[in-house]
Structure 1
Amino acid sequence: MPPLEPSRERYPNPIARYAAATRPAFLSVTLVACLVGIASAHAGGAALNLLHALLMILVALLVHAAGNVINDYFDHANGADAANTGRLFPFTGGSRFIQNGVIPASHMGLFALGLLVLAFPFGLWLAASQPGVLLIGLGGVLLAWAYSAPPFKLVSRGLGEAVIVACWLLVVIAADHVQRGEFAWTPVAAGLSYALLVANVLFINQFPDHEGDAAAGKRTLVVSLGPESAKWGYFVIALVAHGWLVVQIERNALPQVSGLALLTLIMSLTAARELRDHASKPTELARAIKLTIGAALLHGLLLAATMAFNWRA
């Protein structure tokens, strides 16, 4: 049985209601990105600053949560979520908190701003000791807003995947910089393959959503190319992600043992095969979406573990 969509009866407690509206399960990709960055700095010889690490994770999770809520707010405003009858909840079609009358749209907008305001003082505290974090953080917040919000609406212009890659690569770089105190290549070497696999999560989610997106005028890649043509993009992203990792290992930018993360190619290719077969049948894509999420998370965890425990620069 598919999970039940949210209702007022399921969330009588307002704290639980608003927490659930952030789509907390998806915040795991940001937690893993932080772990990759922290492990990257550790691999470079930086001593772990636990307070900085925890604050970095908190800020990143708050900004990601705000981005999710912003996306819900504007996909309600443009009609995309209301028109989405092919959604695979809880993976696609938004949180449904607005559409199901659980939280008013105006409250969701204020909630998103509140999450960003809450992240601000913690981000400033980190920037006081590591000024470079301020630039990264401002870039991340801008992208989180521009992803869905006018006038940019980057996801509606076919740039959603590029924004996702940039955002999650920035999280890895920021988490490394907070620990290391300077910029380095290692978080880019490790973070780009992970960020690309996170982008594939967005990409495959667009297949069940493409009719609703098209009705709302969102020109995502799947809408622009059509499901049967766009499906090959999943293969390309997965192969580029794992190919990047191979190149960085060959260049000694990452340890040989980080090659363990290449095991996730099996999951990505399995999902790609299912997408190839069912691109125009969104109800058949739940397993492929789960494999895509699992591949990204496992890839990041393997990178973090191999850098944290098996290598020193």
Structure 2
Amino acid sequence: MKKWTLFKNASRFGVIPVMLIPIVLGTVGAYVWEGTFHPFLFIITFVGGAAAHLFSNMVNDLWDFRNGADVEAHNTPDVITTNSGFLSGGVLSESIFAFMTWSLLAIAVLCGAVLSIYSGLELLWFVAGGALIAYFYVAPPLRFGYRGKGYSELSIFIAFGLMPVLGAYFVQTGEFSIKPVLLSFPVGLLTTLLLFNHHFLHWKSDKQAGKRTLVVVWGERRALVFSHVLLYISYASLVACVILGVLPVYALLALLTAIAPVHVYRSLQPQNASPAYLPLMGASLQASVRCGAIMAVALLIQGLI
């Protein structure tokens, strides 16, 4: 396997837009609201955010493997794993995988340090907070993703919504504002929905491994109801952004991105085989990325006209 292909597969590079779109949103917000755009700082933010996201993916795989969740998923029939499979499948040794993981964190921290010099030391709180959330999502002793009390979902919203949007805005302006906070809600909630929905694919093996996600705690039926509700709340926050003047009215075109997940929900029963949730995963990913992209374009058009 070529090194680049190996790295992409091990880090699950394909889902990186869910981090990069919020960074773009925060940057566009700074340009439209404050007339500020620093290309160099944007590039460093882009690279740092990408490295942080990939570190999060790989450290989750590392600790899920050590905790036995990935092995249990690999050995449980009719369960679809969402990890890279490089550790549970023996493709890479744990030491090599760990080296790649910590190298990504080093890149993210270096980018954060550079940005803090230009924009303000307050940014180091984002760097530290993001690293701690990523690591302790599955690592002991905190293991947010194993507790089943909503900590996992809250950490995902912060890490993939609030922090990248507000952080990118701060990098460009050196200031904090309520507008980027509000702007982070639609895309942050949709990414939280994406991460919530992926638990349906392997909740039975998670239960066997002691990983108490909300799907495990509530059961499939109740968790599916919550998934519906979270989708509606996500798009309600988009409407709220328009009403509050954070986004222009034509940003409501992003509501069209709800069509695909709603269509998939209609095909699901209260209880389903794991493969039935694959279309929901794809629709959730598309909704998060496309909604965020339309928001960014709408905001940029508003600034240009």
Identify the TM-score tier after normalising by the shorter chain. over 0.9
Task: Summarize the alignment of residues 1-313 of structure 1 with structure 2, pairs less than 5 Å apart.
Answer: 11=1, 13-84=2-73, 85=76, 86-88=78-80, 92-131=81-120, 132-158=122-148, 159-168=151-160, 169-274=162-267, 276-277=268-269, 279-311=271-303
Q: Percent identity?
A: 27
Identify the residue that residue 4 of structure 1 maps to in structure 2.
none
| 2-structure distance, mates of 1:122, 1:195 | 22
Other structure's SS at 2:16 match: helix
More helix by share: 2
| 2-structure distance, mates of 1:36, 1:44 | 12
CA apart distance, 1:279? 4.2
| 2-structure distance, mates of 1:128, 1:271 | 46
Is the contact between residue 270 and residue 288 of structure 1 (CA under 8 Å) also seen in structure 2? no
CA apart distance, 1:114? 1.6
Q: What whole-Å deviation, never above 9, does each CA across 1:78-108 have from its counterpart, x for those lacking one?
A: 11111113443xxx43000111211112322
| Structure 2: runs of 5+ lacking an equivalent | none
Q: Kindly provide the amino acid, as one letter, of the partner of residue 155 in structure 2.
A: V
Structure 1 length as normaliser, TM-score?
A: 0.90
CA apart distance, 1:15? 4.6
Is the contact between residue 71 and residue 148 of structure 1 (CA under 8 Å) also seen in structure 2? yes
CA apart distance, 1:278? 6.2
Distance 1:278 1:26, change over 3 A: farther
Q: What whole-Å deviation, never above 9, does each CA across 1:159-212 have from its counterpart, x for those lacking one?
A: 222111010121111111111221112212221110110111111110111011
Q: What whole-Å deviation, never above 9, does each CA across 1:278-313 have from its counterpart, x for those lacking one?
A: 643111222121111101110000011011122479
Compare 129-138 and 200-209 and name the one that shifted more. 129-138
RMSD: 1.7
Q: Kindly provide the amino acid, as one letter, of the partner of residue 301 in structure 1.
A: A
Is the contact between residue 39 and residue 308 of structure 1 (CA under 8 Å) also seen in structure 2? yes
Q: Kindly provide the amino acid, as one letter, of the partner of residue 225 in structure 1.
A: W
Distance 1:215 1:291, change over 3 A: same
Is the contact between residue 46 and residue 179 of structure 1 (CA under 8 Å) also seen in structure 2? no
Q: Which runs of 4+ in 1 moved over 4 A?
A: none
| 1-structure distance, mates of 2:177, 2:218 | 37
Is the contact between residue 46 and residue 180 of structure 1 (CA under 8 Å) also seen in structure 2? no
